[in-house]
Chains A and B, each alone.
Chain A
Amino acid sequence: MLAREAHLRKNSLDKDVEMAPTRDGYGMGLVELGEKNDQVVVLCADLSESTRTSKFRDRWPERFVQMGIAEQNMATVAVGLALQGKIPFAATYAVFCPGRNWDQIRVSACYNMVNVNFAGAHSGISVGPDGATHQALEDIAITRVLPNMTVLAPCDMEETRKATLAAADIKGPVYLRFTRSASPVFTSENTIFKVGKAQIFRRGDDAAIVAAGPIVHIAMLAADQLVEKGISCRVINSPSIKPLDEETIERAARECGAVVVGEEHQQAGGLGGAVAELLAKTRPVPIEFVGMPDSFGESGEPEQLMSKYGMDVTGIIKSVRKAVKRKM
């Protein structure tokens, strides 16, 4: 049963749901921020169309910094700007930021505790044809272990827009993750987004699916089909991977007794790791992981890849049934 307080769009599970990549929400959010605050500056490493920072660039060229293909310098120039009171947003593909510039993020942004917002586009397997080198599947793991860091992985364009706005006000560095291909826009303007909070999108008490990113929508579809099999699934959207909404997730484990984590990320170290760490301490229950099984991606259409690696409706259903079975 859909949770009414989530204020999802009416057609959220229908075929005619609006489709747009989450990165579009980043572009929109940046323009909104640009209008509100002249301290907001945007840096990009030669990927301004892909990261949708071009919209900000076209409006405020004097507040846009083209960095060239130099992600290490981009991270630390952003730090230098932030130390003078600017609110920098630095974007490129997630494999390069935080992939290539992790040391800069660790020391100059996190240890230094500065307000820099890093954005990683093209995360997950749904990057598609570009193949393994461009599919970031480790970025959550390497950012969430950094002290002072906030890690956000929104589920659709609308939530990405809100997360972008929220990032500007977060003290300390932020990593914002988004995806390349069009995915359902199923949350509405009234859906609450709060750092450190997860939202229940669907009620249920046989198993809880905790997910982040566009895969949340796939989890909703899977939950729908599981009803026929007599399994009622709670679907929890957890865009705030760090800080994690421990209360909501722990309650779900307590009330449902089994948890499935879904993300376009390695099964190790990402949201799954965060949930497992939490529940091992507070409420040990069976957990199944939907994500990359310790392997690199490959070329293919997004749907083909999601299906091959079990991040589709079928894969999620399988994991839920397995988790429920393990309850016995």
Chain B
Amino acid sequence: MERLMKLKDLRRMANTVRQDIIEMLTAAGSGHSAGPLDLADIATALYFNVLDNIDPKNPDKPDRDRLYISCGHTNPVWYAVMARAGYFPVEELKTLRKLGSRLQGHLDRLTLPGLESSAGSLGQGLSIGSGSALAAAMDNVRYHTYVVTSDGEHDEGSTWEAVQFAGHYKLKYLTNIIDRNNIQIDGNTEDIMTKEPLRDRYEAFGWHVIEVDGHNIEHFIDACKEARAIIESPVCIIAHTVAGKGVDFMEYDYRWHGAPPGKLETERTPPKDKQMEEALKQLRMPDGKN
């Protein structure tokens, strides 16, 4: 797959992906908005620049970099970016969550080629990614394993079992990208269950930690390059993001974690039936909100 090298092109693609997310969620009538929107820059950077040897026409290429999505509820952003990368027709995005669709409400590896693993129950992806990195180490092969986790799923004890395991075995070529958007379903993360000091926690388990603005595509790509250069330990990229990024009336508001456009009215929103239109209008502004 050809990489997008120019920042302008990557930003434009991320903006297209955000529009896809708004449209597909509105059509679905259910699903998660905030996480997918705030992951759009990271997802775009991964598929269009960072991941090595991926090929939508040959999704099982042995030397491809592996990407494991642990937070399966963020699926709209991954579906959108995969469609834009050529894994399946963009048209199909409209089938999200519908009967018979390959785009299940949470990720299903068996129906959609290109997904490395099914996901939906939190706190499992980092372990799977660790198994992937361990297999690479056993076979002495060089693909890189990326995992995307949410900050919320760091409440799960199983996430920390994986952090401990990868740290203990100093798994190399393993990078956990945390979407640090500060929200989860019931509220702001620090109100629900303390996550901080997240950096210190990872470092205590022997990880190399990089913090980055998750909307600065250039910095994020640089962080991934740094991660590839670290071979003495697993790497954690804490990507600070704005929940609902790109849509004014959703940004920073945890209530949009699990709601699609058109299903929630707050003091900041237009009427429900105008929400999709308004969101798309904001995203279509020149240069988007990047």
A joins B in a complex: yes
Report yes or no: A108 in contact with B135, Cβ–Cβ below 8 A: no
Report yes or no: B128 in contact with A76, Cβ–Cβ below 8 A: yes
Q: Mark A73-92, 1 if CB is under 8 A from B, else 0.
A: 10111111111111010000
Report yes or no: A77 in contact with B130, Cβ–Cβ below 8 A: yes
Within 8 A of B (CB), among A33-81: 41, 62-63, 65, 67-68, 70, 72-73, 75-81
B120 within 8 Å of A by Cβ? Answer: yes
Docked complex Cα distance between A76 and B129 (Å)? 9
Chain A: interface residue total (CB-CB under 8 A): 30
Report chain B residues within 8 Å CB of A72: 123-124, 127, 157-158, 161
Distance in Å: Cβ of A19 to nearest Cβ of chain B: 37
Report chain A residues within 8 Å CB of B130: 73, 77, 80
In the complex with contacts A72-B157, A73-B165, A78-B118 CB distance below 8 A: no
Q: Which of A62, A73, A82 lies at the interface centre, i.e. has the most chain B CB atoms within 10 A of its CB? A: A73
Chain B: interface residue total (CB-CB under 8 A): 31
Report yes or no: B158 in contact with A83, Cβ–Cβ below 8 A: no
Within 8 A of A (CB), among B94-136: 108-110, 116-121, 123-124, 127-136
A113 within 8 Å of B by Cβ? Answer: yes
Report yes or no: A104 in contact with B158, Cβ–Cβ below 8 A: yes
B164 within 8 Å of A by Cβ? Answer: yes
Distance in Å: Cβ of A117 to nearest Cβ of chain B: 14
Q: Mark B127-150, 1 if CB is under 8 A from A, else 0.
A: 111111111101100000000000
Report yes or no: B132 in contact with A84, Cβ–Cβ below 8 A: yes
Report yes or no: B127 in contact with A41, Cβ–Cβ below 8 A: no
B34 within 8 Å of A by Cβ? Answer: no
A111 within 8 Å of B by Cβ? Answer: yes
A307 within 8 Å of B by Cβ? Answer: no
Distance in Å: Cβ of A82 to nearest Cβ of chain B: 8
Cross-interface CB contact of B135 among A67, A73, A84, A107, cutoff 8 Å = A84
Docked complex Cα distance between A80 and B121 (Å)? 15
Report yes or no: B132 in contact with A73, Cβ–Cβ below 8 A: no
B162 within 8 Å of A by Cβ? Answer: yes
A282 within 8 Å of B by Cβ? Answer: no
Report chain A residues within 8 Å CB of B116: 83
Q: Which of A80, A84, A86, A108 lies at the interface centre, i.e. has the most chain B CB atoms within 10 A of its CB? A: A80
Docked complex Cα distance between A218 and B30 (Å)? 55
Docked complex Cα distance between A77 and B127 (Å)? 5
Q: Which of B128, B129, B165 lies at the interface centre, i.e. has the most chain A CB atoms within 10 A of its CB? A: B128
Report chain A residues within 8 Å CB of B136: 84
Report chain B residues within 8 Å CB of A75: 127
Within 8 A of B (CB), among A86-118: 86, 88, 103-104, 106-108, 111-113
Docked complex Cα distance between A235 and B127 (Å)? 43
Report yes or no: A107 in contact with B127, Cβ–Cβ below 8 A: no
Report chain B residues within 8 Å CB of A86: 135, 138
Report yes or no: B118 in contact with A77, Cβ–Cβ below 8 A: no
Q: In chain B, what residue has the closest Cβ to A63? A: B138
Q: In chain A, what residue has the closest Cβ to B137? A: A62
Docked complex Cα distance between A154 and B145 (Å)? 38
Top 4 A-B pairs, shortest CB-CB distance: A80-B131, A76-B127, A73-B161, A84-B135
Interface residues in chain B, defined as those with a beta carbon under 8 Å from any beta carbon in chain A: 68, 108-110, 116-121, 123-124, 127-136, 138-139, 157-158, 161-162, 164-165, 168
Interface residues in chain A, defined as those with a beta carbon under 8 Å from any beta carbon in chain B: 41, 62-63, 65, 67-68, 70, 72-73, 75-86, 88, 103-104, 106-108, 111-113
Offer 13 A-B interface pairs, CB within 8 angstroms, sorted by A.
A72-B123, A72-B124, A72-B161, A73-B158, A77-B134, A80-B130, A80-B134, A84-B135, A107-B119, A107-B124, A111-B108, A112-B117, A112-B118
